[in-house]
Chain A
Amino acid sequence: MMKPLMALAATTALITPAFADAPATGAVLDTYADLAEAGYGDALSTAEGLQAAVAALIAAPSEETLSAAKAAWVAARVPYQQTEAFRFGNPIVDDWEGKVNAWPLDEGLIDYVDMDSAAVNEENELALLNIIANPKVTIGGTEVDATEITPALLGETLHEAEGIEANVATGYHAIEFLLWGQDLNGTDAGAGARPYTDFVQGEGCTHDNCDRRAAYLQAATDLLVTDLQEMVANWAEGGAARTAIEADPKAGVSAILTGMGSLSYGELAGERIKLGLMLHDPEEEHDCFSDMTHLSHYYDGVGIRNVYTGSYTRVDGTVVSGPSISDLVKAADPAVDAQLRSELDVSVGALGEMKAAAEGGMAFDQMLAMGNEEGAAIITKAVDALVTQTRSIERAVAALGGEIEVEGSDSLDNPNAVFQ
């Protein structure tokens, strides 16, 4: 959930940069919204590519069409992960995000699982519901007709059923599970290995219910596309998210830094990276079926830097850029800006090393293994870099808060206040 920030929101009443060389706040917010629009636009176009590849897989299941669908999923993750920096500061994004990128999930809700695996969850009565095998189910005491597997069934009935967040029926990770299957290799090498025959209709179908499995995969992919369409529209000219940012420049600047800090620290460094290492638990990886977690982490890091520097390189190679929050911070305190810029490069570098190690054969879940000191060192370096940059993000908040014209602030009206 989003935590409202912090210095800007609490102590400033009006934003008027006091520096001749600072860009207008409005121009910075325009860039931010432009980056979001382009990022979600790329997420949408690559999700449409995934939709086509899934249709091809279902029409003619084979090793080739399954591989092509997996490749399309990986390609779709690259732009999407870069948009995660827009999450925590923007309620419109935060309220929606769970539909497309929720994790971890109790995958037994969706399809068959290995009963000896961690898919069993005593806190979740629906953890082994297996909707693909069961056209009639009971959820929260109510009988549900799941004969037709539709986007509405997934999005409105199954997703977060009984208020449990692990009941993830939609989004990238549900699709990932259907393409890869469970990764039963623990912290050893290897991702999920679902056979393409799980989608073969009629004779040759493995693990039963191939028609319902195909219908689920298609419905989940279609829903992802429509959900992303909604978010692209939110950031277009006149869209709700863009309008919200532009309507309240103070809150807009706060949203940018809140998103950067919350993703850097609590979410990425803590929940998604360090916790897994401390638990030595392979389930604690963001993309646990595909073993593509390194990509998610790396592009999260890139996305944070994009937002700060006001520059995003699109899937087609073109660059969207403009006046940035970095320019505002630089005008207020050049040292903080220089330090934060260099720390963002360090974290992207450290996450890049994690990506390179994974591509070289040590997947993120292997890095988590007890006794893997090399893996632990790679992870720790990335965590440290993210924690370090969070401190500078706090300094950027303070720099802007201190230099921005303030009306009626208790903290500054108080003679004892020490505000840098």
Chain B
Amino acid sequence: MRLLPLAALFLAAQSVLAPAQADVPEAISKEILPGYAGFTAAAQALSDAAQADCSSAALQAPWNATFDAWLGVAHLRLGPIEDKGRALAIAFWPDPKAIGARQTESMLKAADPALVTADGMAQVSVAARGLFGLERLLYGAEATDTGAYACDLRRALAADLARMAQETEAEWHGGYADLLLTAGAEGNTRFLTRAEARQALFTQLISGLEFNADQRLGRPLGSFDKPRPERAEALASGRSLRDVALSLKALEGFARALAQGLGEIPLTEAAFARAHDVAAKLDDPVFAGVAEPGTRLKVEILQQSVRAAHDAALSEIGALLGVDAGFNSADGD
């Protein structure tokens, strides 16, 4: 079960100009693996930068590049990223009870040297780690903290992020991609049929779109009577809208890959094009406008356009793949 798909992967990874495959192999070779490779490289560059200079001024650019790269794969909530709480540790948001802020504050106060080691950091609460843990130390009140512990903490958080990225990518290459590619083969107990592998990836597309509509846009929108601009994602660093735009770009690529070889997806493509257009024309980087009726409408229109892309993908790509979205981690309250 191992040899053939590994060879297939190798061939696929050789060049982005490789001939198009179909659905699951296409999504893995053109979207997932390159996406994780980009995230690993960016996180490693951030960690290297932190070792050289731990000031917030030096780290903001590589941190932003890492966040950009993460958005290429953030919608993938299956496989290695779900092990050891990595997805939560990389990007713990939303955090309605401000657990992360409390934990960061108490870590700075306690200044425990055991926690800023590789082993120690892996034990720390996910709320204090990852991109949002670093954001608080690069943009928040702690950005100007030039103390030795704040410096060590930035370095440890960056190294922890790079380690998780590297492990995730390695585990995709070292087995998880095979599991998806050998769906239905004897001995594959995770994906019993090709349809199960298709459903697993399709679910990521659908729940990724839901996350943008319900969380990244829905949280700051709140209600008309009680808008919540303070709840926008990555508010401190000012990249709330950028996160939506980059996520949509990644999801569109993922959608095209899933449909590859099966048929055309004109409705989905049109819906994505409209969502991109709305996002590009929205001059409101942190959705501050949600509190004013006129500007609020623009954010609502973006949310509607994301929902339209969701609905189009659900019916159009679902029909091509012959599956429906499965359960996802956002089911429940």
Contacts and interface: CB of A to CB of B under 8 A. Distances in A.
Given A11-B324, A281-B99, A395 B192 contact: yes
Interface string A143-184: 000000000000000000011011000000000000000000
Interface residues of A, number: 54
Interface string B93-128: 000111100100000000000000000000111110
A71 B77 CA distance: 41
B331 A261 contact: yes
A278 interface: yes
B96 A278 contact: no
B29 to A, nearest CB: 20
A10 B332 CA distance: 20
Contacts of B333: 1, 165, 267, 271
B89 A278 contact: yes
A11 B314 CA distance: 12
Contacts of A394: 196, 199, 326-327
Given A123-B231, A279-B127, A10 B196 contact: no
A261 B319 contact: no
B179 to A, nearest CB: 12
B88 A166 contact: no
A267 B96 CA distance: 17
Contact of B323 (A7, A162, A390, A391): A7
Interface residues of B, number: 47
A10 B327 contact: no
Contacts, number: 135
Nearest to A261: B327
B174 interface: no
Nearest to A103: B333
A101 to B, nearest CB: 10
A418 B324 contact: no
A418 B327 contact: no
A416 B322 contact: yes
Contacts of B322: 411-412, 414, 416-419
A411 B222 contact: no
A418 B196 CA distance: 10
A270 interface: yes
Interface in B155-195: 190, 192-195
A93 B52 CA distance: 56
Nearest to A336: B192
Nearest to B191: A391
Given A122-B98, A279-B125, A10 B324 contact: yes
Contact of B331 (A88, A104, A398): A88
Contact of A163 (B96, B223, B320): B223
B319 A417 contact: yes
B264 to A, nearest CB: 12
B208 interface: no
B88 A278 contact: yes
Contacts of B99: 118, 279, 281, 283
B266 interface: no
Interface string B255-271: 00000001100000000
Most buried by A among B194, B198, B226, B332: B332
B88 A275 contact: yes
B184 to A, nearest CB: 9
B329 A270 contact: yes
B320 A414 contact: yes
Contact of A266 (B198, B231, B314, B327): B327
A393 B328 CA distance: 13
Contacts of B319: 410-411, 414, 417
A143 B315 CA distance: 49
B195 A371 contact: no
B327 A390 contact: yes
A240 B89 CA distance: 43
Interface in A361-420: 370-371, 390-391, 393-395, 398, 401, 410-412, 414, 416-420
B123 A370 contact: yes
Contacts of A6: 324-327
Interface in A98-138: 104, 118, 121-123
A263 interface: yes
B174 to A, nearest CB: 20
A213 interface: no
Contacts of B225: 163
A262 B326 CA distance: 10
22 contacts: A6-B326, A10-B318, A118-B99, A165-B333, A166-B97, A261-B326, A262-B332, A266-B328, A271-B332, A278-B85, A279-B99, A279-B127, A280-B125, A281-B127, A370-B124, A371-B123, A391-B196, A411-B324, A417-B319, A417-B320, A418-B195, A418-B321
Ranked nearest first, the 10 interchain pairs of A and B with the lowest CB-CB distance are A417-B322, A267-B332, A266-B331, A266-B332, A262-B331, A278-B85, A410-B319, A278-B126, A261-B327, A7-B324
Interface of B: 85, 88-89, 96-99, 102, 123-127, 190, 192-196, 198-199, 222-223, 225-226, 230-231, 262-263, 314-315, 318-333
Given A265-B331, A274-B85, A370-B125, 10 more contacts: A122-B98, A163-B222, A163-B225, A166-B96, A266-B331, A390-B327, A391-B190, A411-B319, A417-B322, A418-B198
